[in-house]
Amino acid sequence: MRKKLAWLVVVGIVLTFPVFGCNKGRQADDGKLSIAVIPKSTGAEFWETVEEGAREAAEELNVDMRWEGPLTETEFAEQNRIIENMISLQVDGIALAPLNRVAMKPTVERAADAGIPVVIFDSSVDSDAYVSFVATDNKLGGRLGAEHLISLLPEGKKRVMVMRFVQGTGSTEARADGFIEKAKEAGLEIVEDPYPADATVAGCKKTAVNTLERLVKDNRLELDG
Protein backbone atom coordinates (compact mmCIF):
# COMPACT_ATOMS: atom_id res chain seq x y z
CA MET A 1 0.00 0.00 0.00
CA ARG A 2 2.79 2.43 0.92
CA LYS A 3 4.65 1.84 -2.34
CA LYS A 4 1.47 2.56 -4.33
CA LEU A 5 0.85 5.77 -2.40
CA ALA A 6 4.41 6.89 -3.09
CA TRP A 7 3.93 6.26 -6.80
CA LEU A 8 0.60 8.05 -6.85
CA VAL A 9 2.55 11.10 -5.69
CA VAL A 10 5.34 10.63 -8.28
CA VAL A 11 3.04 10.01 -11.25
CA GLY A 12 0.67 12.72 -10.06
CA ILE A 13 3.51 15.26 -10.06
CA VAL A 14 4.48 14.30 -13.61
CA LEU A 15 0.88 14.64 -14.79
CA THR A 16 0.68 18.16 -13.39
CA PHE A 17 3.29 19.57 -15.75
CA PRO A 18 2.69 18.57 -19.41
CA VAL A 19 -0.17 21.06 -19.63
CA PHE A 20 2.26 23.90 -18.97
CA GLY A 21 5.27 22.65 -20.93
CA CYS A 22 6.01 23.11 -24.61
CA ASN A 23 5.92 19.36 -25.25
CA LYS A 24 2.68 18.22 -26.87
CA GLY A 25 3.55 14.62 -26.13
CA ARG A 26 2.48 11.58 -28.07
CA GLN A 27 -0.28 9.79 -26.28
CA ALA A 28 -0.56 6.03 -26.20
CA ASP A 29 -2.73 4.30 -28.80
CA ASP A 30 -5.62 4.24 -26.34
CA GLY A 31 -5.44 8.01 -25.86
CA LYS A 32 -3.88 7.85 -22.40
CA LEU A 33 -0.98 10.04 -21.33
CA SER A 34 2.32 8.16 -21.44
CA ILE A 35 4.76 8.19 -18.53
CA ALA A 36 8.22 6.59 -18.77
CA VAL A 37 9.58 5.15 -15.53
CA ILE A 38 13.31 4.46 -15.74
CA PRO A 39 14.78 2.59 -12.74
CA LYS A 40 18.43 1.98 -11.93
CA SER A 41 18.10 -1.67 -12.91
CA THR A 42 15.56 -4.32 -13.75
CA GLY A 43 17.54 -7.21 -12.32
CA ALA A 44 17.03 -6.79 -8.58
CA GLU A 45 14.17 -7.59 -6.20
CA PHE A 46 14.03 -4.00 -4.92
CA TRP A 47 13.36 -2.62 -8.40
CA GLU A 48 10.76 -5.30 -9.06
CA THR A 49 8.89 -3.94 -6.04
CA VAL A 50 9.27 -0.42 -7.43
CA GLU A 51 7.82 -1.59 -10.76
CA GLU A 52 4.86 -3.17 -8.99
CA GLY A 53 4.05 0.07 -7.20
CA ALA A 54 4.47 2.14 -10.37
CA ARG A 55 2.12 -0.12 -12.34
CA GLU A 56 -0.53 -0.01 -9.61
CA ALA A 57 -0.37 3.78 -9.51
CA ALA A 58 -0.47 4.07 -13.31
CA GLU A 59 -3.56 1.88 -13.45
CA GLU A 60 -5.30 3.91 -10.77
CA LEU A 61 -4.45 7.20 -12.50
CA ASN A 62 -5.36 5.79 -15.93
CA VAL A 63 -2.04 6.51 -17.64
CA ASP A 64 0.15 4.39 -19.91
CA MET A 65 3.33 3.49 -18.00
CA ARG A 66 6.45 2.51 -19.94
CA TRP A 67 8.91 0.66 -17.67
CA GLU A 68 12.46 0.27 -18.99
CA GLY A 69 15.86 0.28 -17.33
CA PRO A 70 19.35 -1.19 -17.54
CA LEU A 71 19.97 -4.69 -16.24
CA THR A 72 22.58 -3.63 -13.67
CA GLU A 73 23.36 -0.43 -11.80
CA THR A 74 26.65 0.25 -13.60
CA GLU A 75 25.24 0.58 -17.14
CA PHE A 76 25.33 4.37 -17.38
CA ALA A 77 25.38 4.44 -21.19
CA GLU A 78 22.37 2.13 -21.38
CA GLN A 79 20.32 4.29 -19.02
CA ASN A 80 21.20 7.36 -21.07
CA ARG A 81 20.16 5.51 -24.24
CA ILE A 82 16.79 4.71 -22.66
CA ILE A 83 16.25 8.35 -21.67
CA GLU A 84 17.12 9.48 -25.21
CA ASN A 85 14.69 6.92 -26.62
CA MET A 86 11.88 8.18 -24.39
CA ILE A 87 12.59 11.71 -25.58
CA SER A 88 12.34 10.50 -29.18
CA LEU A 89 9.05 8.76 -28.38
CA GLN A 90 7.76 12.09 -27.02
CA VAL A 91 6.42 10.62 -23.81
CA ASP A 92 4.40 13.03 -21.68
CA GLY A 93 6.64 12.67 -18.64
CA ILE A 94 9.64 10.81 -17.24
CA ALA A 95 10.28 9.47 -13.74
CA LEU A 96 13.98 8.67 -13.43
CA ALA A 97 16.21 7.06 -10.80
CA PRO A 98 19.63 8.29 -12.01
CA LEU A 99 22.50 5.82 -11.92
CA ASN A 100 25.02 8.63 -11.56
CA ARG A 101 24.71 12.27 -10.53
CA VAL A 102 26.96 13.53 -13.34
CA ALA A 103 26.54 11.02 -16.17
CA MET A 104 22.75 11.48 -16.35
CA LYS A 105 22.83 15.29 -16.22
CA PRO A 106 22.99 15.94 -20.02
CA THR A 107 20.10 13.63 -20.90
CA VAL A 108 17.92 14.97 -18.07
CA GLU A 109 18.51 18.46 -19.42
CA ARG A 110 17.73 17.35 -22.98
CA ALA A 111 14.42 15.95 -21.78
CA ALA A 112 13.61 19.25 -20.09
CA ASP A 113 14.63 21.18 -23.22
CA ALA A 114 12.20 18.99 -25.18
CA GLY A 115 9.41 20.10 -22.85
CA ILE A 116 9.15 16.76 -21.06
CA PRO A 117 8.75 17.12 -17.27
CA VAL A 118 11.17 14.93 -15.32
CA VAL A 119 10.68 13.72 -11.76
CA ILE A 120 13.86 12.41 -10.14
CA PHE A 121 13.42 9.66 -7.55
CA ASP A 122 15.63 7.59 -5.25
CA SER A 123 18.92 9.36 -6.16
CA SER A 124 19.89 12.92 -7.03
CA VAL A 125 21.27 14.38 -10.26
CA ASP A 126 23.62 17.36 -10.62
CA SER A 127 21.08 19.52 -12.41
CA ASP A 128 17.99 21.56 -11.61
CA ALA A 129 16.23 20.58 -14.86
CA TYR A 130 13.56 18.54 -13.10
CA VAL A 131 10.18 19.40 -11.64
CA SER A 132 10.46 17.45 -8.39
CA PHE A 133 12.75 15.17 -6.39
CA VAL A 134 11.22 12.29 -4.41
CA ALA A 135 13.45 10.26 -2.09
CA THR A 136 14.14 9.31 1.48
CA ASP A 137 16.63 11.35 3.51
CA ASN A 138 19.58 9.07 2.80
CA LYS A 139 22.10 11.07 4.81
CA LEU A 140 19.85 10.85 7.86
CA GLY A 141 19.48 7.12 7.21
CA GLY A 142 23.24 6.75 7.27
CA ARG A 143 23.49 8.67 10.54
CA LEU A 144 20.80 6.50 12.10
CA GLY A 145 22.68 3.40 10.96
CA ALA A 146 25.83 4.69 12.63
CA GLU A 147 23.92 5.46 15.83
CA HIS A 148 22.63 1.89 15.94
CA LEU A 149 26.09 0.42 15.39
CA ILE A 150 27.52 2.66 18.09
CA SER A 151 24.90 1.34 20.52
CA LEU A 152 26.05 -2.22 19.78
CA LEU A 153 29.81 -1.68 20.11
CA PRO A 154 31.44 -2.64 23.42
CA GLU A 155 33.16 0.21 25.25
CA GLY A 156 36.51 1.07 23.74
CA LYS A 157 35.80 -0.57 20.39
CA LYS A 158 36.13 1.99 17.61
CA ARG A 159 37.45 0.41 14.40
CA VAL A 160 34.66 0.12 11.82
CA MET A 161 34.27 -0.48 8.09
CA VAL A 162 31.77 1.03 5.64
CA MET A 163 30.81 -1.05 2.60
CA ARG A 164 29.89 1.38 -0.18
CA PHE A 165 28.01 0.65 -3.42
CA VAL A 166 28.24 2.27 -6.88
CA GLN A 167 30.49 5.33 -6.92
CA GLY A 168 28.67 8.50 -7.96
CA THR A 169 25.20 7.22 -7.05
CA GLY A 170 23.48 9.93 -5.02
CA SER A 171 21.50 7.73 -2.61
CA THR A 172 24.27 5.38 -1.52
CA GLU A 173 26.87 8.15 -1.40
CA ALA A 174 24.59 10.17 0.89
CA ARG A 175 24.01 7.18 3.19
CA ALA A 176 27.73 6.49 3.43
CA ASP A 177 28.45 10.18 4.07
CA GLY A 178 25.85 10.29 6.84
CA PHE A 179 27.23 7.15 8.45
CA ILE A 180 30.85 8.37 8.32
CA GLU A 181 29.90 11.82 9.60
CA LYS A 182 28.11 10.42 12.66
CA ALA A 183 30.77 7.77 13.27
CA LYS A 184 33.55 10.35 13.32
CA GLU A 185 31.53 12.60 15.63
CA ALA A 186 31.40 9.65 18.04
CA GLY A 187 35.15 9.10 17.79
CA LEU A 188 35.05 5.97 15.65
CA GLU A 189 37.84 5.17 13.19
CA ILE A 190 36.82 4.34 9.62
CA VAL A 191 39.50 1.81 8.70
CA GLU A 192 38.04 0.88 5.29
CA ASP A 193 35.27 2.22 3.03
CA PRO A 194 35.60 0.25 -0.24
CA TYR A 195 33.43 0.23 -3.33
CA PRO A 196 32.49 -3.24 -4.67
CA ALA A 197 34.18 -4.83 -7.66
CA ASP A 198 30.83 -4.57 -9.47
CA ALA A 199 27.26 -3.65 -8.56
CA THR A 200 26.04 -7.18 -7.88
CA VAL A 201 25.54 -9.27 -4.76
CA ALA A 202 28.51 -11.40 -5.81
CA GLY A 203 30.65 -8.31 -6.40
CA CYS A 204 29.79 -6.89 -2.98
CA LYS A 205 30.56 -10.21 -1.28
CA LYS A 206 33.89 -10.50 -3.08
CA THR A 207 34.98 -7.00 -2.08
CA ALA A 208 33.82 -7.52 1.52
CA VAL A 209 35.74 -10.80 1.82
CA ASN A 210 38.91 -9.33 0.28
CA THR A 211 38.73 -6.30 2.56
CA LEU A 212 38.18 -8.39 5.69
CA GLU A 213 41.09 -10.65 4.77
CA ARG A 214 43.39 -7.61 4.64
CA LEU A 215 42.31 -6.70 8.15
CA VAL A 216 43.32 -10.06 9.64
CA LYS A 217 46.57 -9.83 11.64
CA ASP A 218 47.98 -12.82 13.51
CA ASN A 219 44.73 -14.74 12.99
CA ARG A 220 42.76 -11.88 14.50
CA LEU A 221 40.34 -9.59 12.69
CA GLU A 222 41.32 -6.02 13.54
CA LEU A 223 37.81 -4.67 13.14
CA ASP A 224 35.06 -3.93 15.63
CA GLY A 225 32.09 -3.28 13.38
Say yes or no: 12 and 74 in one domain. yes
pTM of the shown model: 0.76
Say yes or no: 69 and 177 in one domain. no
Confidence band of 21 (pLDDT split at 50, 70, 90): very low
Q: What angle do CA 19, 24, 29 make, to 5 degrees?
A: 110
Say yes or no: 8 and 90 in one domain. yes
Q: For residue 130, is it left (φ>0), alpha (ψ between -120 and 50) or beta?
A: beta
The CATH number covering residue 105 comes to 3.40.50.2300
Instruction: Compute the distance between CA of residue 3 and CA of residue 6 in angstroms, rounded to an integer.
Output: 5
Say yes or no: 158 and 104 in one domain. no
Q: Residue 5: pLDDT above 80?
A: no
Three-class SS of residue 38? Answer: strand
Q: Which of 103, 134, 165 is the last residue of a domain?
A: 134
Q: Residue 48: pLDDT above 80?
A: yes
Instruction: Compute the distance between CA of residue 127 and CA of residue 101 in angstroms, rounded to an integer.
Output: 8
Provide the domain limits for residue 81.
2-134
Say yes or no: 90 and 156 in one domain. no
Total domain count, the chain? 2
Write the pLDDT tens digit of every residue in 149-170.
Answer: 999 999 889 999 998 887 878 8
Distances (CA, A) of 16 to 33, 119, 174, 176: 11, 11, 29, 34
Q: Residue 184: pLDDT above 80?
A: yes
Write the pLDDT tens digit of every residue in 73-129.
Answer: 889 999 999 999 999 999 999 999 999 999 999 999 999 999 999 999 988 899 999
Say yes or no: 200 and 129 in one domain. no
Say yes or no: 179 and 75 in one domain. no
Say yes or no: 47 and 18 in one domain. yes
CB 23 within 8 A of CB 123: no
Say yes or no: 12 and 25 in one domain. yes
